[in-house]
A and B are shown apart, each in its own frame.
Chain A
Amino acid sequence: MAEVVLENVEKRFGDVRAVAGIDLTIRDKEFVILVGPSGCGKTTTLRMIAGLEEVSGGDIKIAGRSVTHLPPRDRDIAMVFQSYALYPHMTVAKNMSFSLRLRGMPRDQVATRVRDVAAILGLSDHLDRKPRQLSGGQRQRVAVGAALCRQAGVLLFDEPLSNLDAKLRVHMRTELKRLHQSVQSTMVYVTHDQVEAMTMGDRIVIMNAGVICQVGTPLEVYDRPVSRFVAGFIGSPPMNFFEGELVPDGSGVALALPGDLRLSLPRPELASRAGRKVSFGIRPEHISVAQSGRPLSDLAWAAVASPARVPAVIEVVEPLGHRVVVTARGEAGTFQMETEIHAGVRQGDRVDLWFDMNRAYLFDGETEATL
């Protein structure tokens, strides 16, 4: 059992509150991702769990025991650093077994443990090398291996993939996820990359300016973001936002956007809010191309109940393979959409775009909370 509980945890650097009193429960054997823009407090939070940063207020419990004032070595944790932090003068085997040797584990047990972990990570042939003789990806795996050797209840990762090239990063993402299923440790993983967060985590904790914005599974935070910040942070390419106003529309309510654009909303419950300023958000994949007024057979557009027509000019077309990211400009502003490569849009085309209003998000103009 290695449940990690943060209770009103706070970190101040002088007058700056880096972490402003957060509550979070990370369940045993869970893979939780702390994600947010740089300076949001996610690394500070991780370092407080590790014991490398003193806690200014609140309490941290690991496996039901308060560790707030315990030194790092008494917390049953291991950590993988962004820069790998390998000991340059030790071989891979010595790097991985350092903590075990410090604990006075018998030599044969240490050797067995190192061999097992090296086999999992594909490092068996490199055990006698020094870190400088390894490639970036191998060093990264040694860092992970050193953490695994501890068999600690909690594994902490501080942006471990950010120094790898794009291809290796995708590969290691899968590796780490597979590893989590086999090692049965609680994992807390910090990243600024929302793709890593979406693909790896059981749950995602989205942080901004020292507070937690939302905690949920990847699909929860993707489908039901609680605020404009979360909606804009999760998803790639990011969600499009337009500033507008809710206006009455018969019995229901419509959205008035700049350029005399009125989109009717399938949200009759918002009728009472007519007149409010709102942000309108729609993801690129929920916009479709139509030429000569006829929606193309993109996505399951047949099932779309309330498409809204928006005329626009295609500015940039970026093919990604079978999909293409299109930047378009309408009266309401510039936005991005994602469509099939065969949709046949070209730069400069004047087209009608269809917004799937069932998948549209509205955020309060002041609080930025999801409506």
Chain B
Amino acid sequence: MSSRGSLFWRRIRPSLLSYAGLAPFLAFALFPFYWMLITSLKADPNLYDLKRNPFWFSSVDGNTHQPYHKDIIVPASFSEGVIQWKVAQGAATTRSDSVQNPEPIAFIGAQKIESPVDGRLAAIRVPSGKIAHPNEVIGFIEVASPSLTHYRYLISTPFYRWLRVSLVTGLVVMLITLLLAVPAAYALARLDFRGNRMLGIVIFLTYLIPPTILFIPFSQFVGALKIDNTIWSLILTYPTFTVPFCTWLLMGFFRSVPKEIEERALLDGATRMQILRLVVIPVVLPGIITAAIFAFTLSFQEYVYGLTFISSTINRTLPVGITVDMVRGDVYFWGPLMAAAVLGSIPVVIVYALSLDYFISGMTTGAVK
């Protein structure tokens, strides 16, 4: 055992210094994600409990040292009557705003009492068959933290609709961008024509104009084309920043392809298009995938155009939908907000994870020398 341990130690030790150097950076970079995740999983009482360690969960109130609980109060508008419990003490309850037709936990006559939170019916003050009065506390629900309550709540919002709008926009914009940027970048990097350099610079300049200025003229175009408040307004405007960016990115990749490879392909009898299709594009595939990811993430996270061109809640993109609908006035619904952010970042994480190999593969090694 000790020899195995020392072998492990010997392998780890040389890189220990690198890990030590990386640790502060990792902590810095990952902290917002940690905060987002932990916030999205905290039940509301835990979230607003200032007496507890904010970096971890707690199910015990910092002031009362009792488990977090929520009183079940008979609404003031109800008339008094005989109560009939529908769930047993100790059973789980589901918050009423996360489902379409919530199951009542009790009836007072014909009046329905619904659970205000996700939790466990901890105590019943007024048992079945007794009279319950308005404003009376008839029992309370114990709230567990961590819990998935905020994620469940998202079902009742247009969250998945926003996600779909964002995904469709991102993918279509990515395709348009590649169709335009790949040939443009190849032409600018490799073909010799008048104004080549100038054109490259102009394309880059258009990328430098901030969207916060461009959205004003663009909203005129979008209005004139009568595509405002539709996904088309985004699909047509997002390429204005993804195409220049990806063209410049790809120009670098195309320039790194050794010229001899193309010359050899020319001698081998390939036409320009064949060279592009059979030789150049396969060689710069990591670059093209990188550009595709950037096009996707740039449009997935875009805010200004999404906010200004889309006015109805149902057609919004994810970042706009979250911030407009889950912040009402100055009230931030931190739990659902963070839950939506976590779910919204999953597509991007998947895209990155799938293409990580291409990112780091040295495809051009071995081509020359």
Tell me the A residues contacting B by CB distance below 8 Å.
50-52, 71-73, 77-79, 81-89, 98-99, 102-103, 130-134, 136, 139, 146, 150, 163
Contacts and interface: CB of A to CB of B under 8 A. Distances in A.
Interface of B: 258, 260-261, 263-270, 274, 278-279, 282-283, 285, 362-369
Nearest to A52: B263
A84 B369 contact: yes
Nearest to B266: A72
B367 A85 contact: yes
B368 A85 contact: yes
A85 B269 CA distance: 15
A131 B368 CA distance: 9
Contacts of A134: 366
Given A50-B267, A52-B263, A81-B260, 20 more contacts: A51-B267, A52-B266, A52-B267, A71-B266, A73-B268, A73-B269, A79-B264, A79-B267, A83-B260, A84-B368, A84-B369, A85-B258, A85-B368, A87-B282, A88-B283, A88-B364, A89-B285, A132-B365, A134-B366, A150-B268
Contact of B365 (A51, A83, A85, A88): A88
Contact of A88 (B266, B267, B278, B367): B367
Nearest to B263: A52
Contacts, number: 86
A67 B115 CA distance: 88
Contact of A83 (B258, B265, B268, B278): B258
Contacts of B266: 51-52, 71-73
Contact of B367 (A78, A87, A98): A87
Given A88-B283, A89-B282, A103-B269, A133 B264 contact: no
A98 B265 contact: yes
Nearest to B284: A89
Contacts of A163: 369
A83 B369 contact: yes
B151 to A, nearest CB: 43
Residue among B266, B268, B363, B367 with most chain A CB within 10 A: B268
A81 B279 contact: no
Contacts of B267: 50-52, 72-73, 77-79, 99
A68 B106 CA distance: 95
Contacts of B363: 88-89
A59 to B, nearest CB: 20
B263 A86 contact: no
A202 to B, nearest CB: 24
B94 to A, nearest CB: 54
Contacts of A130: 366
Contacts of B369: 83-84, 136, 163
A52 B269 CA distance: 12
A102 B269 CA distance: 7
B281 to A, nearest CB: 10
B283 A89 contact: yes
Nearest to A73: B269
6 contacts: A78-B267, A85-B260, A86-B261, A98-B278, A131-B367, A132-B366
B366 A102 contact: no
Nearest to A131: B366
A81 B262 CA distance: 11
Contacts of B367: 83-88, 131
A82 B263 CA distance: 12
Contacts of A150: 268
Nearest to A81: B260
Contact of B269 (A81, A84, A99, A132): A99
A83 B369 CA distance: 5
A275 B12 CA distance: 81
Given A81-B263, A102-B269, A132 B283 contact: no
Given A81-B260, A139-B366, A98 B268 contact: yes
Nearest to B261: A85
Nearest to B362: A132
A71 B268 CA distance: 11
A84 B263 CA distance: 11
Nearest to B282: A89
A163 B266 CA distance: 23
B210 to A, nearest CB: 39
Contacts of A131: 366-367
7 smallest beta-carbon distances between A and B, as pairs: A132-B366, A83-B368, A85-B260, A131-B366, A99-B268, A73-B269, A88-B367
Contact of B366 (A50, A77, A86, A98): A86
Nearest to B267: A72
Contacts of A133: 366
Contacts of A81: 260, 263-264
B224 to A, nearest CB: 46
Residue among B267, B269, B283, B363 with most chain A CB within 10 A: B267
Contacts of B362: 132
A51 B269 CA distance: 12
A102 B365 contact: no
A86 B265 CA distance: 10
